[in-house]
Amino acid sequence: GLFALILIVILGIPFGIISALKQNKPIDYFVMFMATLGVTLPSFVVATLIIFVFAGGVPALNWLPTFGLTSPLGYIGPVLALAGYSLSFVTRLTRSSMLEVLRQDYIRTARANGIREYKVMAKHAIKNALIPVITYIGPMIAAIMTGSFVIEKIFHIPGIGGYFIESITNRDYTVIMGITVFYAAFYIIMVLLVDVAYALVDPRIKFTKGKS
């Protein structure tokens, strides 16, 4: 889950920004095609294709193990399958948010004042465009870091998702409640961090003490 999260952030946001800056150009069409494909393909389909192509289905490409995390190569399949949808969604969300920001009057004003393009992008456009992305990434972290039963089952990984399903099947109510409380607490923490990140990204947002 951690590796999938890193992959989503370091690839999804830059791809979305590049696609927005190169709107209606070949690189934009390619990125959006891949992002649309990633959104439409369920994770179990991606996982099955990875196993079929890179883990024995094509003899010349028998590069990855079919199950477990016994070697570094074993992480590639599960990470790609787990990150596929969110990576594509973050790319599309970043692109649409970036395009909306680039059409704002303050961006035109900054350019008219002679500010260099990279400063306009770095100090004004990208920061404001990241607000919707951060809103999505917070709950996404909670979902990814708490496991995926489907991916764990396909790649035979003993994770918290499979453990949770097993506890439901066995009617182990103590484990069910424990994992549920853990997930709820983790989700609340992520939402809190999202609110903190708003103030770091957008200087217009500030924290003030409430008045009684």
Angstrom distance (rounded) from CA 83 to CA 5 = 7
pLDDT score, position 31: 92
Report, in this order, helix, strand and coil percent for the chain, each rounded to 5.
80, 0, 20
pLDDT at residue 80 greater than cutoff 70: yes
Query: Which two tokens mark 113?
Result: 């004042």
Class of residue 41 by CB neighbours under 10 A (exposed 0-12, middle 13-18, buried 19+): middle
pLDDT score, position 209: 62
Q: What angle do CA 86, 34, 139 make, to 5 degrees?
A: 10
Report the phi/psi class of residue 59: left, alpha or beta, with left for phi > 0 and alpha for psi in -120 to 50. Answer: alpha
Angstrom distance (rounded) from CA 36 to CA 19 = 13
Q: Would you list the DSSP string of 44-93?
A: HHHHHHHHHIIIIISGGG--S-SS-SSSGGGGHHHHHHHHHHHHHHHHHH
* Arithmetic mean of pLDDT, 84-112: 88
Q: How confident is the model at residue 16 (pLDDT cuts 50, 70, 90)?
A: very high
Angstrom distance (rounded) from CA 142 to CA 125 = 27
pLDDT at residue 28 greater than cutoff 70: yes
pLDDT at residue 157 greater than cutoff 90: no
* Arithmetic mean of pLDDT, 131-144: 86
Q: How confident is the model at residue 169 (pLDDT cuts 50, 70, 90)?
A: confident
1 vs 62, which has greater pLDDT? 1
